[in-house]
Amino acid sequence: MKTRIYLFTGFLDSGKTSFINDTITTTDFCQDEKTLLIVSEQGEKEYQQEEIESFNCDIVYIRKEDEFCLEFLEELEKKYHPTQVLMEVNGMFNVDRLIECEKPKDWEVVQVLTTINAKTFGLYIQNMRSLLYQHVVHSDLLIFNRIDESTKKSFLRNNIKAINSTCQIIYEKEDGTVNTLEDDELPFDITQDYIQVLDHDFGLFCMDALDHPDKYDHKKVTLRGKFIGRDKQLENGFVLGRLAMVCCEEDTSLIGMVCEHPTSKQLIPNEWIEVTGIIDVQYDPDINGNFCLLKVDDLKVIPPLQNEYVTFD
């Protein structure tokens, strides 16, 4: 029987303790399990040890990152014999190291869960992007909490998806209930037959087209980006894209759209171009879903944009 490890990541006061406490005390997560909780960060909210232990869950505390090592985990295995381990990860710890460090036989990290305070997310993106990246890049489930009517969900979501495209995102309101507010209004009018995508809206457009391709079917679109390369399946297909900074300038993620034009064979990689064409929604068996193909009528080379990176604000 494998011992499953669940890592709960996020910065201080992001809601990790409340999330873990609720998981242990208000669900059947610990039923028929021998659970061990490792706590490496103590914020305003503290665990009630007697309550936690009543759910067949032991608690241990560590202060330093290097305490989480094979010898320490082997000691825990001998003392507690856990079938599952929950770890509240200090916001300054290296998540890569926790995942990759040597562990006892049959101990395995099976899920990474991340909590983020939506009200402070903008500050982390601007000032602590590399640390935020550590938390998000491995996350299977991410919870944005403290959502209210003023929150720009597209700003939150698109920045996360640029780092980790497969991460599931949940939005919670102040009272802990799941947010059901409509998504933000887009900065362009989707009801019009022609959409001229401004340079700073490139990322929003491409991400929304990826999520909701059908609403762009037969729309005429103009947008600008780099020629990334030829498409492997379409004879005249190519990818028009721009880079989103996910950690630093050396660590970026491509955001773009598949296009089709007869002159694609003559284009040079990383050449800046402007395209205008009609979107044709097609089915892709590889993703088991629809995608937008921009059939380009007009293509021209342009000077590089002043800001080549994609933003979502």
Pull the structure tokens for residue 4: 């499953």
Q: How many CA atoms lie within 13 A of 37 on its CB side?
A: 27
Pull the structure tokens for residue 180: 């059901």
Is pLDDT above 90 for 204?
no
- The pLDDT value given to residue 79: 96
Containing 155, the helix (H) or strand (E) segment is helix 153-163
- The pLDDT value given to residue 273: 96
Is pLDDT above 90 for 256?
yes
Cβ(73)–Cβ(107) under 8 Å? yes
Compute CA distances 245 → 203, 248, 303, whole Å.
12, 6, 21
What's the pLDDT band for 46 if we cut at 50, 70, 90?
confident
For CATH 3.40.50.300, the residue range(s) in the chain are 3-173
Can you give the pTM of this predicted structure?
0.73
- The pLDDT value given to residue 162: 85
Longest dimension (CA), the chain: 70
What residues are paired with 8 via a beta bridge?
A: 88, 113
- The pLDDT value given to residue 1: 66
Fold assignment, 194-310: OB fold (Dihydrolipoamide Acetyltransferase, E2P) (2.40.50)
Strand runs (DSSP E) across the chain, as ranges?
Answer: 3-9, 35-39, 57-61, 84-88, 107-117, 141-147, 168-173, 194-196, 220-230, 237-248, 251-260, 272-284, 289-301, 309-310
Pull the structure tokens for residue 84: 């599952």
**Rounded mean pLDDT of 205-218?**
93
What residues are paired with 223 via a beta bridge?
A: 275
**Considering the domain 3-173, what is its CATH architecture?**
3-Layer(aba) Sandwich (3.40)
Strand, helix or coil at 237? Answer: strand
Residues in CB range of 286: below 8 A, 6 or more apart:
none
For CATH 2.40.50.200, the residue range(s) in the chain are 194-310
**Rounded mean pLDDT of 179-184?**
65
**Rounded mean pLDDT of 200-225?**
93
The identity of residue 40, as a single letter, is: S
Least Cα distance to 201 among 161, 242, 157 occurs for 242
For 294-311, b/e burial (b = at least 16 CB within 10 A) is bebeebeeeeeeeeeebb
